[in-house]
Chains A and B, each alone.
Chain A
Amino acid sequence: MIDAVSDRVTDIPSEIAASRREYLTALFASGVITDTGVPGVYGKGRIFERVLGGFDRFITESGLDQGAEVFRFPPVISRADFERSNYLKSFPHLTGSVHGFRGSERDHTDMLRMVESGSDWTDHFHSTDLILTPAACYPLYPMAAGVLPRNGRLFDVQSYCFRYEPSNDPARMQIFRQHEYVRIGTPEHVSQFRDIWLDRSQAMLQAVGLDAQPVVANDQFFGRGGAMLAASQMEQALKFELVVPIAPMNELTAAVSCNYHQDHFGSAFGITTADGEIAHTACVGFGLERITLALFKAHGFDVTRWPAPVKTTLGL
């Protein structure tokens, strides 16, 4: 199964592809994660979840002084809200939508015959009102519609997120957990938030022995128009990532991303500041699986031998 998939994100050199496959095989062999037969969709073992849970709690503790409102949403959003977010304009290729069966008994029989014959039975499925959550902050914006309090709002959200990008890169999962802090307010609120969290998130990674470097980055926008959106995002330095080694070959992968959306969501969802201006938003997102994998990469698969301060921070 692993060998059958190519990395569709970029044309990667064969030695890197081979090293990713090798590392994935090692992760499966260690029992840290489990193969499901689908690239980028893994089961996680007890140790993986303990480490991930430890860092998840560390994120919450590190933001306690900020007084964030905590929300947890299931990993789906309404189709109407999804459309308003304009995600489809930028990332049609990463979107996953939920489909369901509403056919007759005859349709059901037909469909089962198709399953048996190995043909595409999904024609019998129709779209529902649900889209898989692409980033943990998406369910928040419709909820924040209207006039903000004078100091704006700050949220703590965590959710499974889906992106349709099957890959053998262990660090690029199709479904993964993001823990985010999201600031909604004036441009000043948002820029202050970003300054605080760029430093703080780097210090948090350092506290668990991950030497993360901040880099200006861009999202994987779709098509040639997307190349322009990406260039514009870079030019305006709207996205920073903290990158760490996860796979062999010294590749660096984003473990944290800090995004300034300007008035994109404020305008799409009708969020205004106390002074009646369109609200600006920013988020800092921690990729929980990626951070966990980076910890295994840095300290090895045997958690009992990790440095004491790291174990203490993660409550292991």
Chain B
Amino acid sequence: MVEKIRDTLRQYARLNRDVSGISEDADLYACGLTSHATVNLMLGLEDAFQVEFPERMLRRRTFETIGNIRESIAELTAGLPAAAS
């Protein structure tokens, strides 16, 4: 799942460094993630993982680190057949 998150970050997040070198707990906002790019990232993650972030997850914190994104997606895909991807 983390690789797919990294791919989505590469496509939408417009970070100021190579996504491969960013650790799971690094602050993505400090890596150049802007508010508007967060919106694109959110929509990109929804497409990639076939999920819809509920309103309670539409917070800065959800997209702050790769680890936070992984946890949110794991929660949303728990029990779904697509979760294996």
Contact = CB atoms under 8 A, between A and B. Distances in A.
A231 B58 contact: yes
B39 A225 contact: yes
A235 interface: yes
Main secondary structure of the interface of B (DSSP, over half): helix
A227 B58 contact: yes
A227 B43 CA distance: 13
A228 B58 contact: yes
A271 B53 CA distance: 35
B59 A229 contact: no
Given A235-B59, A235-B60, A228 B38 contact: yes
B83 to A, nearest CB: 22
Contacts of B36: 86, 89-90, 229
A164 B42 CA distance: 27
Nearest to A263: B34
A228 B43 contact: no
Contacts of B60: 228, 231-232, 235-236
Interface in B29-55: 35-36, 38-40, 42-43, 53, 55
A227 B55 contact: yes
- In which size bucket is the chain A interface? 10 to 19
Contacts of A229: 35-36, 38-39
Residue among B36, B39, B43 with the highest chain A CB neighbour number at 10 A = B39
Contacts, number: 37
Nearest to A227: B58
Contacts of B59: 228, 231-232, 235
Contact of B58 (A89, A224, A233, A236): A224
A235 B64 CA distance: 13
A235 B40 CA distance: 19
A225 B55 contact: no
A232 B35 contact: yes
A306 to B, nearest CB: 43
Contacts of B43: 225
Interface string A217-230: 00000001111110
A215 B14 CA distance: 33
A228 B43 CA distance: 11
Nearest to B56: A231
Contacts of A231: 58-60
A175 B38 CA distance: 31
B45 to A, nearest CB: 12
A226 B59 CA distance: 11
Interface string A65-94: 000000000000000000000100110000
A89 B36 CA distance: 8
Interface of B: 35-36, 38-40, 42-43, 53, 55, 58-60
12 contacts: A89-B39, A224-B55, A224-B58, A225-B39, A225-B42, A225-B43, A227-B55, A228-B39, A229-B36, A231-B59, A235-B59, A235-B60
Q: Which 5 A-B pairs have the closest CB atoms?
A: A225-B39, A228-B58, A232-B60, A227-B58, A231-B59
